[in-house]
Amino acid sequence: MSDGNLKREILHILQEKTPAALLGLDASERKMITILVRMAYDKETLVGWRAIKSIGLVASEMVRRDPEFLRETCRKLLWSFTDESGGIGWSAPEMLGEIVSSDPKRFQDVIPLIAAAYEVDEDVFRAGVLYALSRVAEHAPELAAPYQKIVVLSLADRDPLVKVRGIGLIRLLWPWVKSNGIWSREYCERVISSLGKLNSDRGEAWVYQGRDFASLQVGEEALKTLNIINQ
């Protein structure tokens, strides 16, 4: 299949909401990842988000056979954070999260580099960094739990999406950190207090869930998380 035909086929699959069909294409996984990365930079569209999620799907299939290509892709995405790259990798944290989540232990050296993007001058990366840490937390919570500072900062951010992502990360991490005693009592109390202050926050964020965008309210997400914590 030519590159042009492959691109059209991938676009059709993403538009039809069937990313799993990507795995049945008669094409190299390297080519698919390369095309998906190009399609994933517009996070305002469904196709962009489905491309992000599809990167994780394809990476999970190829990580045992071709980890070095995925590592090189990570290197390029990390480079796109920098001024020297000549552009801003708007969706790079999300794509990195998908790749790293395919085998968090294999790519654990990449996680601190993703986390470091939270505090760069461009605050456009913050929600993406939290998304990436959440994807890691789904598979290896011990590798996401040490980023306590980011969790606290996210709850005080002015952007509702950053708050929602931070709250979601807490929800993923809480059972593990409590059962393993990773976070101190003082820190846990600080998290609970911060969530309580968000109960009346009516900020709204549009988040890709399932196959479409959903509207999430900061206060509702905070209350949901507090209920889980207090069970």
Q: pLDDT under 50 in the chain at which residues?
A: 85-86
d(CA 65, CA 88): 30
What is the pLDDT, as a whole number, of residue 1? 66
N- to C-terminal Cα separation, the chain: 53
What is residue 30's predicted lDDT score, i.e. its pLDDT?
95
Query: Which tens digits make up the pLDDT trace of 19-48?
Result: 888 998 888 999 999 999 999 988 999 999
pLDDT number for residue 198: 97
DSSP class of residue 198 equals T
Among candidate residues 106, 167, 174, 173, the one with its CA nearest the CA of residue 144: 173
Instruction: State how far the Cα of 98 lies from the Cα of 228, in Å rounded to an integer.
Output: 26
Q: What is the mean pLDDT of the chain?
A: 92
Dihedral pair phi/psi, residue 225, rounded to 5°: -70, -40
Residue 86's pLDDT is what?
47
- Boundaries of every domain in the chain: 159-231
